[in-house]
Amino acid sequence: MSRIAAIAPLGQQIWLDNLTRHLLDSGELARWIADDAIAGVTSNPAIFFNAIKNDAAYQAGVAALKDSPLDAERRFEKLVLPDIQKACDLFAPLYAARDGQAGFVSFEVSPDLAHDAAGTLAAARRLWAEIDRPNAMIKIPATVAGLTAIADAIADGINVNVTLIFSPQQLAGVHAAYRRGIERRFAAGLPVDRIASVASVFISRLDSLLDPQLPATLQGKTAIALAAQAYAEWQQQPALPGNARAQTLLWASTSTKNPAYRDVIYVEQLIGAGTVNTVPDATLAAFRDHGEADLTLPAQAAQAGIQLAALQEIGIDLNAVGAELQTAGLKQFEEAFAKLLDLVR
């Protein structure tokens, strides 16, 4: 068994934080599913910008769209949505075998809609219909407008990957939005048993921002503490109506930014049953080489309270920090999306 595959028996899914046509056409993603138990895929504008720019498999498609009457966003979708569909089909056997609880592929609405609830919902509905796969997930950011769209999308029966979560306050809002959507759908007499959603909590960016402000004894521990606290609270959530499934916690941004830290720290220290970790290629390769699979997240809970209390004592407001990081993350995705559209114009 590979070191990555050894995580699956502990109850956590590992998803790949990347998608290119080469990964699909070469059979490499299929091999990772077979050998490493990769259980899903996430994508975002930055990932597709790099894919279209660097993967030769896209160049003919880009050229063919040059004279298209479609606008740039629709050209981009026409280019990559077949890859999303192909990835969904690749994971379809896993989705079926796990009763719709694994095998998801995420695609993001335009980041330009982050503060437009109605526009986000319309885009989510359109993309969900066009992808037309039960194991697709539509990514929506955890902005104020995004929370409204998330509840509406869930009520519509759309699987949602909620992205850009950085603080306890944001995560609480996401869980509440998911619950509202489920409750509305259940009250309407519609099925709730196959709806899936993940709450993507961003990890390494939090430590990268805070570490320079902290004494050495507190550095490199905040993101893991926040995740451990979120995990403990998640386990105590009240049941949802009917046979609806709980929203799953997903750890995102788990590559190590600080070279002083172990390069797989945000994988090794965040293994908990019922969660997902979405991991980029380089971190997967590092874990495949020297990662250690152990059920680490439950043991982090006791230390989490100490770390978070220490931050509060020195005046760190994690909700304010989370708002700052979400704004920066949105800007990064908006810039990547703008560059992406330039590629296909």
Any idea which residues carry the catalytic annotation?
Answer: 139
CA–CA separation, 273 and 251 (whole Å): 13
Q: How many CA atoms lie within 13 A of 121 on its CB side?
A: 15
Dihedral sign, Cα of residue 281, residue 39, residue 164, residue 228? negative
> Which three-class secondary structure string do you get for the chain?
CCCCHHHHHHCCEEEECCCCHHHHHCCHHHHHHHHHCEEEECCCHHHHHHHHHHCHHHHHHHHHCCCCCCCHHHHHHHHHHHHHHHHHHHHHHHHHHCCCCCCEEEEECCHHHCCCHHHHHHHHHHHHHHHCCCCEEEEEECCHHHHHHHHHHHHHCCCEEEEEECCHHHHHHHHHHHHHHHHHHHHCCCCCCCCCEEEEEECHHHHHHHHHHCCHHHCCCHHHHHHHHHHHHHCCCCCCCCCCCCCEEEEECCCCCCCCCCCCHHHHCCCCCCCEEEECHHHHHHHHHHCCCCCCHHHHHHHHHHHHHHHHHCCCCHHHHHHHHHHHHHHHHHHHHHHHHHHHC
Mutual angle of helices 168-187 and 222-234, in 10-degree steps: 30
d(CA 148, CA 313): 34
